[in-house]
A and B are shown apart, each in its own frame.
Chain A
Amino acid sequence: MELPRYLWIDLENQTAHEYPIPRDYWEKYLGGKSLAARLLLDHMSPELGAFHPENLVIINTGPLVGTGAPCSSRFNVSGKNALTGGIASSNCGGNFGLKLRQAGFEGLIISGKAESPVHILLDNGKIHFQPAQELWGLETDTTQKKLPDGFGHLVIGPAGENGVLYSSIFSQERVAARCGLGAILGSKRLKAISARGDRKIRPAHPDKFRGLQKKWVKVLLENPMTGESLPRFGTMGFIAKAGVLNILPVKNFSQKHFSDYESISGEYYAEKFLEKNYGCPTCPIRCGRRQIIDGKDRKGPEYETVGLFGSNLLNSDLELISQWNTLADRLGLDTITLGATLGVAMELKEKGLADFGIGFGDFSGVETLIKDIAFMRGKGKELAQGSRWLEEKYGAEGIAPHSKGMEYAAYDPATTKSLGLGYATANRGACHLNGGYMVFLEGLGPLEVEGSTLKAKATFTVLMQNLMEAISITGNCLFTSLALLPPFIYRLDQSGSLIRFLNRLFARSAPLIAFFLNYPHFLRVNLSLVPYSLAVKYATGLKMNLGRLLEIGERSFNIERQYNMRAGINSKGDELSQRAIHRGNPLHRFLPYYYKIRGWDDNGIPLEKKKKKLEV
């Protein structure tokens, strides 16, 4: 397979040239956020402010994108994190990633700032810069409708144009939501990119790849998580269980239980609102939901949005949540940070420190406020800076639910303690996915870390972070990881002795896992249950096995950490809000174990030995 083709696009001069990716970069970083972080470290000064014109934005794909592997139409956007000042990476479905590769490119490196709004058109290997003055100011859905048919589009909304620190990027109705990358594109006056082409992505070993592809689709469709729950209830399927287990955020992450969880559950949504489900290209899972809002066919909300707009604000009106979700999407706002910031604003009012016209139980001003945030008007201008800024401005220390400046997802770290460790150590800020999605082992799945030691939990967190990183890099959707456990485990008596035994065995496997984390080259296997390494091997022709892929995940995590350190984010950034600590997250007892397992020193700095081993 040929080396990935990257195009360096200079917006200031409206020129472009091919940027050769060295072979060893490809082998060591593969693509996606990992290769992007390496290129950012090479070419973008970490000291520059978020909206400095010299900053780069990298939009790229992974090796499985366009190959026909299931759930592999995703693309990554990396750059400066508008909320944290460190590294940003955000992953997105939709059709742009697929179309970008078909247009002839694995990635785009975007530099400079255009004089006036611009739309980039990539058509079968050729690039055209088009004025986008008439698109500027339009919402994400309207913008995409105005762009030419037959292309995959990536667009920002008014929030990105106006510099809201948590504005997002859209492809169809899918979102690269986090880190404020929409605002970074907006600062460059880049409104949209469209791509199309007839390039065929041919796997290096087509027959073997097709065989694997068929088996993989079957695995996804036969697994109760990806074959039954996600298609029927979407990501909202977990709401009720999260409500019962006190995982949902409640009243700005200050309380334990939301008694009205059933009225915002996936079951209730399916009964009252769901019209049909849909999926991204190449996805057999089809987790997207559709409903009618204001007479129009719209995308339904996801778990995170329902948690942050719902229980977090003491709001049990699912119709209202769906309306705010649609509005935030159209304006191009990240609903996670938006929901968390609204929660802080409501608490500030309750404490008598500030009044933004909204409060817990008083939602009449929310819609107007969301619009004001996107257009940076009036009080919305302050909320556009995110929760950490609000907390500092109004002297309400410890109430903003964030790490490094980016807000928690809809899992309370006071309950999901290992996920709290994940939030604190994730390079882009408090992210449940970069943080390792430990809720999979803390309430979601049949296997769990309850009862394990802190050291064991830290070990599992590192494993899951490296695994999530690796899957993301391939261009595959992280939801496929929900099918990693074979269906028979779900058919066992979940309160029986066998599942208890398996859980005890699992908890005691931590030392073995720690060994493989340190010596991944001993994992020279490709497992059909973890098909990613085999898929990459057949797609690219690269020597690949599970150990190598996990090592690429680890390298990615470390290279992003290195970028953050150069940007001035050190171990002090490995933090949670005081509230989460007071409510029981043992983060400071976790961290020494975590650093040691990662091969970092007591201050969270990767040791020379580790850097040498990972060649970073």
Chain B
Amino acid sequence: MPVLKYYGPLCDLTGCKSDYTAATSLQEARNFIRQKYGEETLRMARGCTVIVNDKNYNHLRQKKPRFKDEDTIHFFPPLAGG
């Protein structure tokens, strides 16, 4: 099962750092987040950079990437560096 990982203020809304899900696409992963945590969490998740394993979702070659069981999908809200 793919694992969804949450960072920064998104963890405040989910109350946890990760979830296992049967989702096989970003749309399904977001549906999972909405169903489990509600609209506000979904709004923040939409504003997150999504990284699949170590690749930005937007850079993946497939038009609508499918998640595999071993994939980790990271949700990063805006986080500053130094």
A interface residue numbers (CB < 8 A to B): 224-226, 228-230, 232-238, 240-242, 244-246, 257, 262, 265-267, 287, 302-304, 439, 444-446, 448, 450-451, 479, 482, 490-496, 499-500, 503
* B79 A237 Cβ-Cβ under 8 A: yes
B interface residue numbers (CB < 8 A to A): 7-9, 11, 17, 26, 46-51, 54, 56-59, 74, 76-82
Q: Once bound together, how far apart are the Cα atoms of A238 and B82, in whole Å? A: 8
* A495 B54 Cβ-Cβ under 8 A: no
Of A228, A257, A495, which is within 8 A of B9 by CB?
A228
* Given A491-B47, A492-B47, A495-B50, residue A266 in contact with residue B79 (CB < 8 A): yes
Min distance, Cβ A100 to any Cβ of chain B, angstroms: 25
Min distance, Cβ A317 to any Cβ of chain B, angstroms: 20
Q: Once bound together, how far apart are the Cα atoms of A576 and B38, in whole Å? A: 48
* B7 A241 Cβ-Cβ under 8 A: yes
* Given A232-B9, A492-B47, residue A303 in contact with residue B82 (CB < 8 A): yes
- CB-defined A-B contacts under 8 Å, sample of 14: A229-B8, A229-B79, A236-B82, A237-B79, A237-B81, A238-B80, A238-B81, A240-B79, A241-B79, A244-B51, A262-B17, A265-B7, A446-B78, A490-B78
Q: Once bound together, how far apart are the Cα atoms of A603 and B79, in whole Å? A: 39
Measured CB to CB, the nearest residue on chain B to A303 is B82
Min distance, Cβ B43 to any Cβ of chain A, angstroms: 8
Q: Once bound together, how far apart are the Cα atoms of A256 and B63, in whole Å? A: 27
Q: Once bound together, how far apart are the Cα atoms of A476 and B81, in whole Å? A: 17
Q: Which residues of B contact A229 (CB under 8 A)?
A: 8, 77-80
Of A233, A303, A496, which is within 8 A of B8 by CB?
A233
- Beyond the given A266-B8, A500-B58, could you list 10 further A-B residue pairs with CB under 8 A, ordered by the A residue number? A228-B78, A229-B79, A233-B8, A235-B82, A237-B81, A242-B81, A244-B51, A244-B76, A303-B82, A444-B79
* B81 A226 Cβ-Cβ under 8 A: no
Going nearest first, the 10 A-B pairs with the smallest beta carbon separation are: A235-B82, A238-B81, A303-B82, A237-B79, A224-B78, A229-B80, A225-B80, A493-B46, A230-B80, A302-B82
* Given A233-B8, A240-B76, A450-B59, residue A444 in contact with residue B51 (CB < 8 A): no
Measured CB to CB, the nearest residue on chain A to B43 is A491
* B80 A235 Cβ-Cβ under 8 A: yes
* A490 B8 Cβ-Cβ under 8 A: no
Min distance, Cβ A367 to any Cβ of chain B, angstroms: 24
Measured CB to CB, the nearest residue on chain A to B81 is A238
Q: Once bound together, how far apart are the Cα atoms of A230 and B80, in whole Å? A: 6
Q: Which residues of A contact B49 (CB under 8 A)?
A: 241, 446, 494
Q: Which residues of A contact B17 (CB under 8 A)?
A: 262
Q: Which residues of B contact A482 (CB under 8 A)?
A: 80
Of A246, A451, A496, which is within 8 A of B54 by CB?
A246
Min distance, Cβ B21 to any Cβ of chain A, angstroms: 16
* A444 B81 Cβ-Cβ under 8 A: yes
* A267 B8 Cβ-Cβ under 8 A: yes
Min distance, Cβ B5 to any Cβ of chain A, angstroms: 8
Measured CB to CB, the nearest residue on chain B to A479 is B80
* A451 B59 Cβ-Cβ under 8 A: yes
* A245 B51 Cβ-Cβ under 8 A: yes
Q: Which residues of B contact A266 (CB under 8 A)?
A: 8, 79
Measured CB to CB, the nearest residue on chain A to B56 is A450
Min distance, Cβ B51 to any Cβ of chain A, angstroms: 5
Q: Which residues of B contact A503 (CB under 8 A)?
A: 58
* A439 B81 Cβ-Cβ under 8 A: yes
Q: Which residues of B contact A490 (CB under 8 A)?
A: 47, 78
Q: Which residues of A contact B51 (CB under 8 A)?
A: 241, 244-245
Q: Once bound together, how far apart are the Cα atoms of A226 and B38, in whole Å? A: 27
Q: Once bound together, how far apart are the Cα atoms of A300 and B20, in whole Å? A: 33
Min distance, Cβ B48 to any Cβ of chain A, angstroms: 6
Min distance, Cβ A482 to any Cβ of chain B, angstroms: 5
* Given A237-B8, A238-B79, A238-B80, residue A245 in contact with residue B54 (CB < 8 A): yes
Q: Which residues of A contact B8 (CB under 8 A)?
A: 229, 232-233, 237, 266-267
* B76 A226 Cβ-Cβ under 8 A: no
* A495 B26 Cβ-Cβ under 8 A: yes
Min distance, Cβ A324 to any Cβ of chain B, angstroms: 17
Q: Once bound together, how far apart are the Cα atoms of A266 and B80, in whole Å? A: 10
Min distance, Cβ A445 to any Cβ of chain B, angstroms: 8
Q: Which residues of B contact A494 (CB under 8 A)?
A: 46-50, 58
Q: Which residues of B contact A233 (CB under 8 A)?
A: 8, 79-80
Min distance, Cβ B36 to any Cβ of chain A, angstroms: 19
Q: Once bound together, how far apart are the Cα atoms of A246 and B74, in whole Å? A: 13
Q: Which residues of A contact B7 (CB under 8 A)?
A: 240-241, 265, 267
Measured CB to CB, the nearest residue on chain B to A266 is B79
Measured CB to CB, the nearest residue on chain B to A448 is B56
Q: Which residues of A contact B56 (CB under 8 A)?
A: 245, 448, 450
Q: Once bound together, how far apart are the Cα atoms of A357 and B6, in whole Å? A: 39
* B81 A303 Cβ-Cβ under 8 A: yes
Q: Once bound together, how far apart are the Cα atoms of A30 and B42, in whole Å? A: 47
Measured CB to CB, the nearest residue on chain A to B49 is A494
Measured CB to CB, the nearest residue on chain A to B26 is A495
* B81 A235 Cβ-Cβ under 8 A: yes
Q: Which residues of A contact B81 (CB under 8 A)?
A: 235, 237-238, 242, 303, 439, 444
Q: Which residues of A contact B11 (CB under 8 A)?
A: 267
Of A236, A445, A493, which is within 8 A of B47 by CB?
A493
Q: Once bound together, how far apart are the Cα atoms of A524 and B49, in whole Å? A: 35
* Given A238-B79, A238-B80, residue A495 in contact with residue B47 (CB < 8 A): no
Measured CB to CB, the nearest residue on chain B to A409 is B82
Q: Once bound together, how far apart are the Cα atoms of A446 and B7, in whole Å? A: 16
| Most chain A CB within a 10 A radius of its CB, from B9, B26, B59, B81 | B81
Measured CB to CB, the nearest residue on chain B to A235 is B82
* A495 B57 Cβ-Cβ under 8 A: yes
Min distance, Cβ A74 to any Cβ of chain B, angstroms: 15
